[in-house]
């Protein structure tokens, strides 16, 4: 599948944004977040910037961005529509909770707790909807499996935690609870990514050139002549293929930058204090940012679509 | 409304494509382009049509496959493909705007170009590659089953068939109601063992493909060698010998 920049930015940025928003609210509800106005204010500001930036960028690849509101209408059947609806809805409880936490912290009636819990759940559901856009596409075997929603949720939590730690480090000593949370999510995400790649390398779509043409009973099916001399829309959009050698190199880059280095740097921050810890956490975030963008690029580039079977691909 | 029709359409208009007959001439693709560039989803935009990298919107494309078999030898099969107007059309249910829909009255799958936001998700959801993005208009287009031709009261009755069907020089394409087991197309499918493409994708396509007939061997009397024996020998008349000489020259 063609890795479009706008979609890569959308899924990574909004994923981190919702992860951060979730942690801010959950942290405050459980009394784990460091006190003070500025850390929380910066946290909410960054999370909404990531979310809004991601959502805006996702409209860039549309043929008609001005009609984007129509995408909110078909939530009964479409995960993309559900994602849009949830993204809009999530602003309400999370925004209310952020206002309460920032500006009226002393008044804490039960209802704000409920709003906070709803907001935190909305964050999870929105990321789940994003993942299901991909996981519900049966023609893409690399996507339509249970690894995909789990991965989106884990990576959202992981990147959210890395942003949170880097931000809080600007205001004071890092909070051990969030450092440990980041470490745990990094380990979980690393294990998930390796299992996903293992799955991908050992599995094939049920669809083959034989089933695509129905000619299997006569023998092995190979493309003899494509319909056109030049690449068409389908081949550019769905026929994108990356050489195995390059994919392996990018997988190693992903493992190192997205998981291993942030893991070591966060571990370092747990044991050293002061500005060294802050520097380590910021470095961890920068590494992870490049690593996650590579991860997402590969998520598209390594995915094969059944339409390739009509254009010479041996498997999908 | 992108949910599929509540009552599954009883009438299922679609095509039956005979892979035994198709000669891969691309006439149906060309006439499809010709009719539809002035029809329901017009225009079928081309970019750089006379340049080095021409691309454009086509609702029907002709692939050719080689089928290899060590026992029976290879054969070439020409394979036209357009939208299959699936019963369980995933392109419809994924559409976030309601632009994609399946008609309850005849099962035709269409795109409302005024509502489409050009998110391309439907083209990802279709396993068959039957959706075509128009870069110029920023909307998705696809085979309309010539909805503006098959119901067109301005055309004589016999012309109310899809453009690809009426143009096929060898009659490899048939059009009709595949929801009615008594229709000509349904009988043809039953008789020839018509099948679905990629049934494992669970889209329940309406269009059916008829398999190539088994290769004929010399023993059945139809081999090329047998047909090429000279039509005349020395015992034949002058005219016959002259014709034979002329033909084999
Ligand atoms: S062939 Fe593709 S575009 Fe046509 S109805 Fe089926 S899924 Fe939709
Ligand atoms: S490209 Fe248009 S028709 Fe296709 S899913 Fe998006 S809005 Fe619907
Ligand atoms: S039915 Fe009409 S639109 Fe569809 S492939 Fe045939 S000519 Fe083209």
Q: Are residues B228 and B141 in the same domain?
A: no
Q: What residue ranges define each of the domains in chain A, with the CATH number in brackets?
A: 5-311 (1.20.1630)
pLDDT the model gives residue A33: 82
Specify if B87 maps to a domain: yes
Specify if B2 maps to a domain: no
Return residues 55-84 of A near B (CB < 8 Å): 61-65, 67-68, 70-74, 76-81, 84
The Cα-based distances of A64 to A51, A120, B137, B190 in angstroms read 21, 32, 9, 44
Pairing of strands B208-210, B13-18: parallel
Does ligand 1 come within 6 angstroms of the Cβ of B12? no
Predicted TM-score (pTM) of this structure? 0.92
CB contact B215 to A (< 8 Å): no
Mutate to test the interface with A, among B48, B63, B93, B118 (most CBs of A within 10 A): B63
CB contact A219 to B (< 8 Å): yes
Residues pairing with B62 in the sheet: B80
Contacts of A139 in chain B (CB under 8 A): 90, 124-127, 201
Q: How many domains, chain B?
A: 2
CB contact under 8 A, A70 and B98: yes
Q: Are residues B247 and B175 in the same domain?
A: no
Q: Are residues B247 and B158 in the same domain?
A: no
Domain that holds residue B234: 223-249
3-state secondary structure of A285: helix
Chain segment B37-72, per-residue pLDDT in tens: 999 999 999 999 999 999 999 999 999 999 999 988
Specify if B3 maps to a domain: no
Specify if B217 maps to a domain: no
> What does each of the 249 residues of chain B score in pLDDT, given as a tens digit?
568 988 889 999 999 999 999 999 999 999 999 999 999 999 999 999 999 999 999 999 999 999 999 988 899 999 999 999 999 999 999 999 999 999 999 999 999 999 999 999 999 999 999 999 999 999 999 999 999 999 999 999 999 999 999 999 999 999 999 999 999 999 999 999 999 999 999 999 999 999 999 877 655 555 555 555 555 555 667 776 666 666 766
Does ligand 2 come within 6 angstroms of the Cβ of B122? yes
Q: Are residues B192 and B246 in the same domain?
A: no
Task: Compute the distance between CA of residue A257 and CA of residue A190 in angstroms, rounded to an integer.
Answer: 11
Q: Are residues B180 and B249 in the same domain?
A: no
Q: Which two tokens stand for residue A276?
A: 């060294």
CB contact under 8 A, A233 and B132: yes
Mean pLDDT by 10 residues, chain A (316 residues): 95 98 96 88 98 94 95 96 98 96 80 95 98 98 97 98 96 93 98 98 96 97 95 94 93 98 97 93 98 98 97 94
Specify if B4 maps to a domain: no
Is residue A108 within 8 A of residue A170, CB to CB? The reply is no
Q: Which two tokens stand for residue A209?
A: 């050139």
pLDDT the model gives residue B2: 67
Specify if B8 maps to a domain: no
Is residue B203 within 8 A of residue B83, CB to CB? The reply is no
Specify if B216 maps to a domain: no
For B217, residues 6+ apart whose C-beta sits below 8 A from its C-beta are B223
Spacing, Cα B145 to ligand 3 middle (Å): 5
CA distance B10 to chain A (A): 22
The Cα-based distances of B110 to A229, A285, B106, B139, B143 in angstroms read 28, 46, 11, 12, 8
Q: Are residues B97 and B120 in the same domain?
A: yes
pLDDT the model gives residue A238: 95
CB contact B47 to A (< 8 Å): no
Is residue A227 within 8 A of residue B29, CB to CB? The reply is yes
The CATH number linked to B88 is: 3.30.70.20
Specify if B215 maps to a domain: no
Return residues 78-97 of B near A (CB < 8 Å): 79, 81, 90, 92-97
């Amino acid at each position: 599948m063609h890795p479009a920049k706008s979609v890569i930015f959308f899924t990574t940025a909004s994923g981190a944004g919702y992860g951060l928003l979730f942690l801010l609210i959950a942290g405050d509800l459980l009394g784990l977040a460091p006190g003070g106005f500025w850390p929380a204010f910066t946290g909410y500001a960054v999370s909404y910037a990531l979310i809004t930036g991601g959502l805006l960028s996702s409209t860039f690849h549309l043929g008609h961005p001005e009609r984007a509101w129509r995408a909110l209408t078909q939530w009964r059947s479409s995960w993309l529509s559900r994602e849009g609806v949830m993204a809009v809805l999530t602003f309400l409880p999370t925004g209310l909770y952020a206002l309460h936490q920032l500006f009226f912290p002393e008044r804490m009636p039960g209802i704000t707790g409920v709003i906070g819990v709803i907001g935190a759940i909305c964050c999870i559901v929105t990321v789940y909807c994003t993942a299901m856009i991909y996981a519900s596409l049966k023609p893409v075997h690399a996507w339509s499996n249970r690894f995909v929603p789990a991965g989106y949720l884990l990576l959202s939590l992981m990147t959210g935690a890395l942003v949170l730690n880097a931000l809080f480090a600007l205001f004071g000593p890092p909070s051990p609870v969030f450092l440990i949370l980041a470490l745990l999510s990094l380990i979980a995400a690393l294990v998930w990514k390796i299992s996903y790649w293992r799955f991908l390398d050992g599995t094939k779509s049920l669809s083959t050139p034989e089933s695509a043409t129905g000619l299997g009973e006569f023998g092995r099916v190979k493309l003899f002549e494509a319909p056109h001399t030049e690449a068409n829309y389908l081949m550019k959009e769905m026929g994108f293929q990356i050489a195995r050698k390059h994919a392996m190199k990018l997988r190693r880059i992903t493992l190192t930058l997205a998981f291993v280095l942030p893991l070591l740097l966060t571990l370092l921050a747990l044991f050293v204090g002061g500005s060294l810890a802050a520097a380590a956490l910021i470095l961890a975030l920068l590494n992870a940012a490049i690593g996650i963008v590579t991860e997402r690029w590969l998520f598209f580039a390594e995915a094969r679509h059944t339409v390739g079977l009509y254009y010479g691909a041996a498997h999908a | 409304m992108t949910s599929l029709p509540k009552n599954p359409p009883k009438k299922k208009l679609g095509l039956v494509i005979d892979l035994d007959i198709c000669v891969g001439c691309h006439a149906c693709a060309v006439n499809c382009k010709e009719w539809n560039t002035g029809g329901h989803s017009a225009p079928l935009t081309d970019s750089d049509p006379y340049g080095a990298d021409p691309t454009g919107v086509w609702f029907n494309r002709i692939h050719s496959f080689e089928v290899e078999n060590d026992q029976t030898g290879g054969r070439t099969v020409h394979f036209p493909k357009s939208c299959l107007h699936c019963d369980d059309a995933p392109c419809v249910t994924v559409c976030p705007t309601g632009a994609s829909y399946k008609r309850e009255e005849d099962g035709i799958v269409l795109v409302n170009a005024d509502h489409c936001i050009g998110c391309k998700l439907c083209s990802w959801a279709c396993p068959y590659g039957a959706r075509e993005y128009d870069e110029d208009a920023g909307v998705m287009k696809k085979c309309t089953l010539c909805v503006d031709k098959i119901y067109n009261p301005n055309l004589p009755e016999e012309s109310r068939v899809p453009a690809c069907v009426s143009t096929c020089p060898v009659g490899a394409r048939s059009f009709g109601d595949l929801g009615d087991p008594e229709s000509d197309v349904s009988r043809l499918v039953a008789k020839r063992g018509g099948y679905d493409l990629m049934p494992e994708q669970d889209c329940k396509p309406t269009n059916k493909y008829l398999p190539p007939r088994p290769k004929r061997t010399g023993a059945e009397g139809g081999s090329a060698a047998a047909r090429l024996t000279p039509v005349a020998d020395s015992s034949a008349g002058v005219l016959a010998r002259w014709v034979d000489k002329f033909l084999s020259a």
